[in-house]
Amino acid sequence: MKQILLIDREFGAGGMTIAAILAQRLKWKLFDDELTQEIARLAKIPVEVCRRREERKDPFLHRLVNLIWKGSFDHNLPSPDMAILDTDRLVSVVKQVVLKAADTHPCIIVGRGAPYFLRERKDILSVFLYAPRDLKYHRILKRVGNEREALDLLDTQDDDRRKFVKHYFGHEWPHRELFHAMINTAIGDDRTVEEILHLLDTINRKAEVSKA
């Protein structure tokens, strides 16, 4: 039986919204922003820093450490009494949080490398969501309200995720072999939700029949 639904997505493809609808329909626990809060708590770093770092390979934390030790502290960055944490350690913390979340099944987990960390489990259903560039742009613009920022996020977020997955997992992103389905969300949020629910139900019904 599939009791853990993993949603990976292109930035702006509507993953958060679709996951929230699925959680409501299934009455399953949703792990999204709550994961960021827990990662930040364990890593002892501010939540906003955690959000920027979870699926990026850029040297932000290394620059931060250098700034602190050189005494040239930028007040827009976290305070220097935070725990000094490199990116490899942060990935270890993310894995720890994802594994713990998976034990709270049935549940839905959004992003955070979950398809890679949980790939050996038999009770997961992994779905990748993508969308045309124009649709992603307008979704992002609606969220941030600034055209330049929306374009910057559109052009950088997925590239960061691609570098992150390549570096830490050795795969191109998205790694198609990890997913049961890849869905273009241009069909609409409701239709996407129905497709995922149908897939989940079909797989679980077949599992029940095979047990009988």
How confident is the model over 89-113, as pLDDT tens digits?
777 888 898 999 999 889 999 988 8
Beta carbons of 150 and 47 less than 8 angstroms apart: no
**For the chain, how many structural domains are there in total?**
1
Residue 88 CA to residue 6 CA, distance in Å, equals: 23
**What average pLDDT does the structure give for the chain?**
82
Is 81 among the domain residues? no
> What pTM, to 2 d.p., does this model score?
0.81
Which residues are bridge partners to 107 per DSSP? Answer: 4, 29
Is 156 among the domain residues? yes
Per-residue model confidence (pLDDT) at position 197 = 98
Q: Give me 199's structure tokens.
A: 């897939």
Is 15 among the domain residues? yes
Is 70 among the domain residues? no
Which residues are bridge partners to 184 per DSSP? Answer: 130
Per-residue pLDDT of 184-201, as tens digits, reads 999 999 999 999 999 999
Is 66 among the domain residues? no
Is 64 among the domain residues? no
Beta carbons of 165 and 114 less than 8 angstroms apart: no
Per-residue pLDDT of 143-198, as tens digits, reads 889 999 999 989 988 887 888 788 778 888 899 999 999 999 999 999 999 999 99
Is 101 among the domain residues? yes
Is 151 among the domain residues? yes
Q: Which domain holds residue 131?
A: 4-56+92-211
Question: Which CATH number covers residue 109?
Answer: 3.40.50.300
